[in-house]
Amino acid sequence: MADNGKQRLTAAEAKGMRTARELEGHLAWLDTFTPAALGVLAIASGIYTYIGVTSLLEDTGAMSFFAAVAYSVAVSVGIFVFWSYMLRLLPAMRTSSGFLGLTVATFVGSLAIIAMSSWLNAAALAGSAAVEQHLEITVRDYQSALEQAHDIALSGQALKREVQRSRETFEALAEQERTGQLSGTAGEGAVFRVLSQKADELRNLELQIEAQQPPIEAAYEQGNEILGRMRALTVAPGPVEQRSVMFSEESVRLAGVITNLNQYSVAGLVARAAEDLPASVVLPDLDGRTSTIRDAQSSTIASVLNALDQRSQTLGRAAAEVLAMAPPQETAYNPISSADAVIKYAGNFVPSWAGAIAIDLLPGILVFVLAITQSAIRNGRDGLSIEETLTLADLKAAMNAMREVEESMGDADTEILRRLKRSPQAETPRAAAE
């Protein structure tokens, strides 16, 4: 249906028109403080970037200060300019290729911002906590190594029972030989001397094992004391950099204690003694008065050698089990910067990373919100002529503008006539031309 030569707006078109006008009003109000808000976000990111940069610079002189300030200012300016471009250009794109291209540019720019700023912001937010986390993990590694070294040393000390049992066996056999219950001849003859020789060797080995017990306990106690100081440094107040230096000194001492504990293990000593036990027998001359007694002594000595061989194998297997235990993993404290610590333990500081990234990329959400809003405005105005989209305010503004133009043109004509009247000489050429 026509009305004065113009087509009436449908209900859907009128609704879209009202929606578009409402959204435009909201955008006009939001645009009054959006640049200021974007500037605040950029400055905040620059401040945290400055803190992160200073944690990386070893020098604390004026040049380092100005370098950190220059970098943080560059980051703030870059963030503000980039998101200002995106807020203005991407929502205004009407073609799919243009919108897609700027969307890709937005994601690439976001990655660049994360690379140059967000990880430093995370270092500023959680750098000290991340370094403390590194110290705590190092303490746990050292404690595990100390416990493992102590367990291996104690397992070596447990071999003393096997050595003691073997010694008591040979001492009992020697006593039987003394009373004549072994070879049939009482006294301290050749068999007795062989048994006594092996019993003395095992007694000496037992004393050596026993002598290692006090150093092992002393080293373990010293290691625990050092671990206590290292734990205290992990949670102590004050700058984490200074605590890291003291922590490093304590870690060197603890590494020495663990090395000593590894050397205190007697498993190797027992293994070598087990190999030497049957091989180092010094056979004495048979001292029996008769050939029958000498034959009995020879047979008994052969039995003793067989027993020595069995005891040697038993001790060797026990020592081999201790030697087969996995040695403690070599642990060393490696100092780490707050930025590196935040990256290494990123999984433990997800909230800090989220905050550091959000402060830089929050405007990206505004970009796509604005793009969706502008698309809704264009959809509400599509298919409508300029006359149909004019509001009463637009019409008044247009009429006032036309009135000002007419007044300006009238004033210009009046000024021209006034100047012509003041210059009669100008009439002569004009009349001549007519």
pLDDT tens digits for 199-232?
A: 788 888 888 888 888 998 999 999 999 999 998 9
Q: Which two tokens stand for residue 350?
A: 């997800």
Q: How far apart are the C-alpha atoms of 170 and 195, rounded to whole Å? A: 6
Among residues 377, 373, 363, 368, the alpha carbon closest in space to that of 35 is found at 363
pLDDT in tens, 237-253: 878 888 888 888 888 89
DSSP H or E segment with residue 138: helix 119-178
State the DSSP code for 93: -
Q: Can you give the C-alpha Rg of the chain in angstroms?
A: 48
Contact 87, 34 (CB under 8 A): yes
Q: Which residue has the tokens 């560059």?
A: 74
> For residue 185, what pLDDT band results from cuts at 50, 70 and 90?
low
Q: Which CATH number fits domain 132-336: 1.10.530, 3.40.50, 1.10.1220, 1.20.1260?
A: 1.20.1260
Among residues 344, 373, 381, 316, the alpha carbon closest in space to that of 17 is found at 381
Among the ranges given (74-88, 105-119, 184-198, 328-342), the one the predictor scored with the smallest mean pLDDT? 184-198
Higher-confidence position of 377 and 220: 220
pLDDT in tens, 150-184: 898 888 888 888 888 877 877 777 776 677 665 55
Q: Which two tokens stand for residue 19?
A: 């929606």
Contact 154, 212 (CB under 8 A): no
Q: How far apart are the C-alpha atoms of 304 and 296, rounded to whole Å? A: 12
- 6-7 vs 2-3, strand pairing mode: antiparallel
Q: Which sequence spans correspond to the domains of the chain?
A: 2-92+350-389, 132-336, 391-420
- Strands (E) in 238-340, as ranges, are none
Contact 17, 380 (CB under 8 A): yes
Amino acid making up residue 99: F
How many CB atoms within 10 Å of residue 305?
A: 15
Q: Residue 57: its pLDDT value, please?
A: 75
Please state, for a pLDDT cut of 70, what percent of the chain lies above it: 74
pLDDT in tens, 273-323: 777 766 655 555 455 555 665 566 566 666 666 767 777 777 788 888 888
Indicate the burial class of 59 (C-beta count within 10 angstroms; 0-12, 13-18, 19 or more): exposed
User: What's the N-to-C CA distance of the chain in angstroms?
Assistant: 56
Among residues 248, 260, 266, 247, the alpha carbon closest in space to that of 221 is found at 260
> For residue 77, what pLDDT band results from cuts at 50, 70 and 90?
very high
Q: Which residue has the tokens 């909201």?
A: 26
Q: How far apart are the C-alpha atoms of 100 and 89, rounded to whole Å? A: 12
Among the ranges given (204-213, 333-342, 411-420), the one the predictor scored with the smallest mean pLDDT? 411-420
CA angle 17, 21, 27 (to 5 degrees): 145
Q: How far apart are the C-alpha atoms of 370 and 40, rounded to whole Å? A: 19
Q: How far apart are the C-alpha atoms of 169 and 182, rounded to whole Å? A: 13
The answer to whether the predicted template modeling score (pTM) of the entire model surpasses 0.85 is: no
Q: Which two tokens stand for residue 8?
A: 């009436």
pLDDT in tens, 6-41: 455 566 555 556 666 777 777 788 888 888 989 999
Q: How far apart are the C-alpha atoms of 375 and 84, rounded to whole Å? A: 19
Among the ranges given (69-73, 166-170, 391-395), the one the predictor scored with the smallest mean pLDDT? 391-395
Among residues 17, 2, 94, the alpha carbon closest in space to that of 386 is found at 17
Q: Residue 276: its pLDDT value, please?
A: 72
Q: How far apart are the C-alpha atoms of 233 and 237, rounded to whole Å? A: 8
